[in-house]
Amino acid sequence: MSESTERLRAHAQLAMLATEQADPRYAGIEGLSTLDLARTMNEADASVPAAVAAVLPDVAAAIDAVADRLAKGGRLRYVGAGTAGRMAVMDAAECPPTFSTDPELVKAILAGGKAAEGGAVEGTEDDADAGAAAMAAEAIGPADAVVGLAASGRTPFVIAAVREARRRGALTVGLSCNAGAALSEAAEFAIEVAVGPEVVAGSTRLKSGTAQKFVLNMISTISMVRLGKVYGNYMVDMRVGNSKLAARAVRMIREITGAEAEAAEKALVAAGNRVKTAVVMLELGVPAAEADERLEQAEGRLSGALAGGVG
């Protein structure tokens, strides 16, 4: 098959994807008032949660598998291009400040590299060899989990990365917004959030991007809950890096322990701005060093450290 014939076939396949279709309901949007157009987009966006809800069993299965790898010392890598890749970059970047994770634990690999984080780098998403090479550069192995993201489900860079990661023994997940995606076939776990046509035909930064963000929120947050980085619904592993976060930390400590503000502030300072350490100190009446020891014995889980009681 000639290169031009192959290109025409690829174009035809792309045109058949639901996310590429022009929805007749939105054919006259350029004639709408700003308010009516905002309502139209809002109504379209309101369909996304239902589309995500329809695949929650698939999402949960993938998260359990990812969390298991992380609990055993593995790493999580997101792989994407364009909007999907930038969504992944944002989600990965929030893990260290929210959960005090090592920056190497959760990272995003974007087609086109750093230059693509702020804008399009043409052609990079079609480079399958670069996708596979990215997995080699990250030394992806059996302990790791790789989540590939592509609204179309057919991005060569992402599919090649997922295939290479799977060949290396890593857990692989494919997140797309079309049914029967090639990415789903490449991955061990498939998540297909069928959001349908976009308000602006083919602009997958809209409903597709929103759906991907929803699922990424679940993957990172629930994995961290499973790793013991949340107590109740408090982000007790967050980094205290400014006055707003310090106030939040004191509020968390007070609500968990019932301590007065002054006692909570003193404990937080004595704990080196570590919320979990401060809570153990106050709840068990122990110094910071012993609180840290109890947390270490409980594998960082605040509930386990508190369950030990006073020694």
Local confidence band at 311 (pLDDT 50, 70, 90 cut-offs): very low
Residue 3 lies in a domain: no
Q: Are residues 72 and 174 in the same domain?
A: yes
pLDDT of the residue at 34: 97
Element (H, E) at 107: strand 106-110
Q: Are residues 79 and 157 in the same domain?
A: yes
Read off the CATH number of the domain in which 249 is found: 1.10.8.1080
Which tokens go with 135?
A: 């997995």
Residue 22 lies in a domain: yes
Residue 99 lies in a domain: yes
Largest CA distance in the chain: 75
Percentages (nearest 5) of helix, strand, coil residues in the chain: 60, 10, 35
pLDDT of the residue at 218: 98
Share of the chain above pLDDT 90, in %: 82
pLDDT of the residue at 114: 80
Domain count, the chain: 2
- Mean pLDDT, range 155-184, rounded to an integer: 97
Q: Are residues 152 and 213 in the same domain?
A: yes
Which tokens go with 71?
A: 């609990």
Phi, psi of 182 (to 5 degrees): -60, -30
Asked which of 3-7, 102-106, 122-126, 289-293 is least confident by mean pLDDT, the reply is: 3-7
Give CA separation, 262 vs 2, 33, 229, 247, in Å.
75, 54, 25, 12
Higher pLDDT, 6 or 175: 175
Residue 302 has pLDDT above 50, yes or no: yes
Model confidence over 89-144: pLDDT tens digits? 999 999 999 999 999 999 999 998 887 776 666 678 899 999 999 999 999 999 99
Q: Are residues 261 and 116 in the same domain?
A: no
Which tokens go with 46?
A: 């309101």
* Strand 171-176 versus strand 145-150 pairing type: parallel
DSSP 8-state symbol, 27: T
How many whole angstroms separate alpha carbon 311 and alpha carbon 309?
6
How many whole angstroms separate alpha carbon 250 and alpha carbon 238?
12
Q: Which domain holds residue 264?
A: 243-307
Q: Are residues 105 and 145 in the same domain?
A: yes
pLDDT of the residue at 137: 96
- Interior angle at CA 288, CA 282 and CA 292, nearest 5: 105
Residue 87 has pLDDT above 80, yes or no: yes
How many whole angstroms separate alpha carbon 231 and alpha carbon 160?
38
Residue 222 has pLDDT above 60, yes or no: yes
Residue 11 has pLDDT above 80, yes or no: no
Beta carbons within 10 angstroms of residue 307's beta carbon: 10
H-type helices in 72-112, by residue range? 82-99
- Beta bridge mates, 146: 77, 172
Which tokens go with 108?
A: 């995003």
pLDDT of the residue at 7: 53
Q: Are residues 133 and 259 in the same domain?
A: no
Q: Are residues 203 and 254 in the same domain?
A: no
Model confidence over 17-68: pLDDT tens digits? 888 888 888 999 999 999 999 999 999 999 999 999 999 999 999 999 999 9
* Strand 145-150 versus strand 76-80 pairing type: parallel
Local confidence band at 310 (pLDDT 50, 70, 90 cut-offs): low
Residue 272 has pLDDT above 80, yes or no: yes
Residue 266 has pLDDT above 60, yes or no: yes
DSSP notation for 191-227: EE----S-SSTT-TTTHHHHHHHHHHHHHHHHHHHHT
Q: Are residues 169 and 119 in the same domain?
A: yes
Residue 6 has pLDDT above 60, yes or no: no
Residues identified as active-site: 94, 125
Question: How far is C-alpha 104 from the chain's CA centre?
Answer: 14
